[in-house]
Structure 1
Amino acid sequence: MSLFSDNLRYLREGRKESQQQTAENLGIKRARYEPYESGKIEPPYDILKKISRHFNISIDLLLSVDIRKYQLQDLLKLEDNRIVLPIKVDSKGRNLIEVVPHKARAGYLTGYSDPEYIESLQQIALPFLGPGKFRAFPIGGDSMPPHDDRSFIVGRYVENLGEIKKDKTYILITTSEGITYKRLGGKNPDSLTVLPDNIIYHPYEIKLSEILEIWEYVAHIGQNDALQESPDQTQSMLRNLMLELQDIKKGMGKA
């Protein structure tokens, strides 16, 4: 049986539905539904969409991940049913930040929607971020000072384009550039205009069709050479986070 057929059977049995009931809910006959679950044939796109909507789970997950390994209530379901992301919290109930290390940067484009890949990432927590889905990305180049090549940018996941605002900064995951961190200059019908903060670089456009994810900037994590190679990466990062938090508190005290 294929991964898809295993997932389909698991979801149906989880709802305590018979094959006949599921088929009726999909608007097809049981004789047509059964081969999908047994793995004999694959459903056409229109039926695949109906299955995705019926079980309230993304097509991407149905086709590429063994969902029997995960608690579905721990996954984030977006309104358009496009993708799901695992959400984890620490012992105090705070949402954890998944850290994409420099060495895993190139692999993020193929693993961003894979729960197994996301689970393999190091995780940290910041007490002042509030609700949301957070991820920390390594940045490179000199287009967005004062952040340097050894820094991480923490972003809050943006569910739809209507949430993004001009002059705010975002981490954009695109098929053309991979991970890029830029300021939003404007929204166009089929593209976004982005602005590097370094004035020696010019604004440019990124097509909406190339954008896989958008994360709104919420925090900066200072980085050093020792952190990249040290086996005690978690402790080193937490020390940097504490220093960052102290600076924030000092700034708030002066305001």
Structure 2
Amino acid sequence: MSFFGKNIRKIRSVKTLSQQAFAELFNLKRGTLGAYEEGRSEPKIETIIKIANYFSIPIDDLLKRELTVNELLKFKSSLSEQHDLSNPETFKQIPCITEKNTTDYISNYQNRSFVQDMVQVTLPVDSSETMRAFVVTNLEMTNQNQGLFPKDVVLGTFVKKDKYKNIEHGSIVLVLTKDQLILRKAYVINNTLVLKAEHQNIDELNFVLSEINEIWKITSVYQRRITAISSGIEDKLSMLEKEFAKLRSQI
């Protein structure tokens, strides 16, 4: 049994390379590389030599045993310097749904290779759960100057189908149906998922739970703007203090 497929997949993970980027390094097609990783095809000896030389990995090690992350971090390549890290710090890489790849995601959300090749958001998130990032594209979740705006990024954790009815009313969720992605507040009533926008002029949507392909419960938001630190009450108190100061100066 060859460990080539497992090892090159692990190399890609350590070097943060998509299948497409890795394949281009060695003049391969992405589908060919995917076949290598899944053990559906064996590479030519020339390809094995190129990859082994590029990453300074002995060919026997590349083929005959599963390499560890620490070993791969020590191997040289033109993409990274040699580091001896016994306990390297790692950030979580989260597949990100953008305006450009939304249509493809709706069709290929179950395709593991597609998800692996999506643009990744790397963040210091301490979570072992499966997550998705989503770039907001509309004003459905805004109310006046509050809420989520286009280009904000939300992070969601995967909700299993048998947990749909446990979603708390008013939770913000990203919902995948057969033909659309919807970011709204969720209300589960019997077997119906009611999705309400924050914007007052947008009608609610209703779906039977069995029609839902995925639900991601939003847990974090990364905004493109700095929100005001002071509250409205603090502003009013500050204004009153100034008015009192004026009155005292007139007495």
- TM (normalized to structure 1)? 0.49
Pair member with larger Rg: 2
- TM (normalized to structure 2)? 0.49
